[in-house]
Structure 1
Amino acid sequence: MNGKSLFALAVLAVGILVANSTLYVVKETERAVLLEFGKMSPDEITPGLHFKWPIKDEVRIFDGRVLTLDTHPQNFMTVEKKGMIVDYFAKWQIKDVHKFYTATGGDEATADRLLAQRINEGLRNQFAQRSLLEVVSGQRDELMIQLTDSLDEFSRTSLGIEVIDVRVKQIELPPEVSGSVYNRMTSEREREAREHRSKGKEQAEFIQADADRQVVVVESEAYRDAERIRGEGDAIAAATYAAAYNKDPEFYTFVRSLNAYKKAFKDKQDLMLVDPDSEFFRYLKDAQGKVK
């Protein structure tokens, strides 16, 4: 290797050292502040390639993505002076990097500690205004929304971070109160069950009474229609018989006599005591039915 090659390598090495000490890159997912002899510059550093002076300038880069605060479960008291163990988490993100650096020194652990203190205080105040039942079931979502809004307002102005969400992962009751709470919840559910059964029985009786009434109405209307149709049929039959009788009274009398004979002599074991001169034997004595 000749002297020119060594000189080129030396120049390249010096160039790399100079570039490493004077150039820096801020990614889209990062936030950064520039310190000039330890004093923070008010200028905003945008993502991209930037220049800095060696020795004079120092760049501090922080994670600009959404971060998670996950703390240990804490003890809180309700308005009924009943304790509970609450496990929660929070989502936050740096919005004002200058305020963030001023308040925390750029330490995420410090930011988590300060934020956890405010969340604990907010949860303690919110739980102290509500009963155990409201905290466990009825108003948890409303509580979290109110806490997130108030906490975000403080953290933006004081810490330079945005609180995106605060959520309760789990609520556990201390052993000394869990039994009484579960008994109370069981009694409440049994009361609701009895109330629902009572309402159901009342509705069932109403439905049954209405069904019985409809059955009576339908049967009455059916009987009325049947009697009306039967009466109409009898009237038509009587009119038909009368018309037939008027056309040939003798034939009609003959047919009725034959039907009477048929019914009278249907059973051979029957005995009849009838006067031979009776009108009943009129057509048996004479085909024309003439009385002698």
Structure 2
Amino acid sequence: MNKSAFLLPAVAVVVVGLLSSVFIVDERQKALVLQFGQIVRVKEDPGLSFKLPLIQEVVRYDDRILSRDFEPLEVTPSDDRRLIVDAFARYRIADVERFRQAVGDGGEEAAARRLDSILRAETREVLGSVSSNDILSVDRAALMLRIRNQAIAEANALGLQVVDVRLKRTDLPPENLAATYERMKAEREREAADEIARGNEAAQRVRAGADRTVVELVSDATRQSEITRGEADAERNAIFAESFGSDPEFFEFYRSMTAYSRALTSENSTMVLSPDNEFFNYLKSDEGASAN
């Protein structure tokens, strides 16, 4: 009876000791075996492992890529145009032994806060060396790479590996938005005025060219018409001259009849002429013939 009473507690102690000496490392973790606060072993491979019960303890750290959002950060680029930058970083614990030595019992949250300080300082330095247009342009990927590269050395001292740094948003401070909007509006209005002026200038050139073309066409048409009219008049005069030369008496009679037709345009036409005027020679001849 006394033997059984002694054996059962001993077996229980052995079982508890065996269970406390076994630990499992998940594939998403890395582990440190500590003895009186000192690192005695690093366990990075997943699976079953052993430690000294009661004397040694196991501390596990996440081996996955972690994400950390910055608090919105105000930066002043080289052109003194203040910006509010919202960014985040992705990192992982690369060296658990160095990580433990750097942050102690503070763990991952303490490391994340120290990483925040590093990245905020590097972000201010990099973005402060360029203009706001560079930050707002599509080429800012190069700036993010510079921030990451400059933060790598300091992060390595913490046992961290900075995988990536990204700028999520870049905004103007609220007090600068109205002034920026007015400046952009003035620039667009100036560009619009320039375009209108250039358009008016081009329209004036087109109108001047059209007016010149019209003058040239009218002048040429007038010249051609005068040439044609002159040629027609010359041909008419040649015909008259030929007719006059063929039968001068008939030509004289024809011209007199035409003159009568143009002069006596109404029934009550009145003409005052001297008796010996030659205008009515042919009428006088007719009257003389009738009297005879």
**Which of the five TM-score ranges fits, normalised by the shorter chain?**
0.5 to 0.7
- Which one-letter code corresponds to 1:114 in the other structure? R
Q: What does residue 177 of structure 1 align with?
A: 176
Q: What is residue 145 of structure 1 aligned with on the other side?
A: 145
Take 1:78 and 1:167, find their aligned partners in 2: how far apart are those partners? 18
Kept in 1: contact 2:30–2:43 (CA 8 A): no
Report whether the alignment pairs 1:110 with 2:110: yes
Report the 3-state secondary structure (helix = DSSP H, G, I; strand = E; otherwise coil) of the residue aligned with 2:71. Answer: coil
Q: Which amino acid aligns with 1:150?
A: Q
Question: Percent of counterpart pairs with the same letter?
Answer: 34
TM-score (norm. length: structure 1): 0.59
Kept in 1, the 8 Å contact 2:91–2:163? The answer is yes
1:260 alignment partner in structure 2? none
Match of 2:40 in 1: 41
How many Å separate the matches in 2 of 1:185 and 1:142? 26
Q: CA deviation at 1:11?
A: 7.7
Work out the CA distance in 2 between the residues paired with 1:7 and 1:47.
Answer: 38
- 5+ residue gaps, structure 1, are 206-292
Q: What secondary structure is seen at the aligned counterpart in 1 of 2:67?
A: strand
Calculate the TM-score normalised by the size of structure 2: 0.59
Shift of the 183–100 alpha-carbon distance from structure 1 to 2, 3 Å rule, reads: same
Q: Does 1:88 align with 2:87?
A: yes
List structure 1 segments (4+ residues) > 6 angstroms apart after TM superposition: 5-12, 190-199
Q: Distance in 2 between matches of 1:123 and 1:11?
A: 61
Instruction: For 1:139, give the aligned amino acid.
Output: D
- Worse-superposed segment, 38-47 or 83-92: 38-47
Distance 1:192-1:41 versus aligned 2 partners, 3 A rule: farther
Helix, strand or coil for the counterpart of 2:78?
A: coil
Distance across 2 between alignment mates of 1:51 and 1:79: 57
Going from structure 1 to structure 2, the CA distance change for 1:194 and 1:23 (only over 3 Å counts) comes to: farther
For structure 2, the 5+ residue unaligned runs are 206-292
Give the equivalent residue in structure 1 for 2:164. Answer: 165
Q: 1:145 to 1:54 in 2, by over 3 A?
A: same
Deviates more, 1:104-113 or 1:60-69: 104-113
Partner of 1:122: 122
Contact 2:88–2:165 (Cα < 8 Å) also in 1? yes
SS in 1 for 2:20: helix
Report the aligned-residue RMSD: 3.6
Change (3 A) 1:42 1:6: closer
Partner of 2:137, secondary structure, is helix
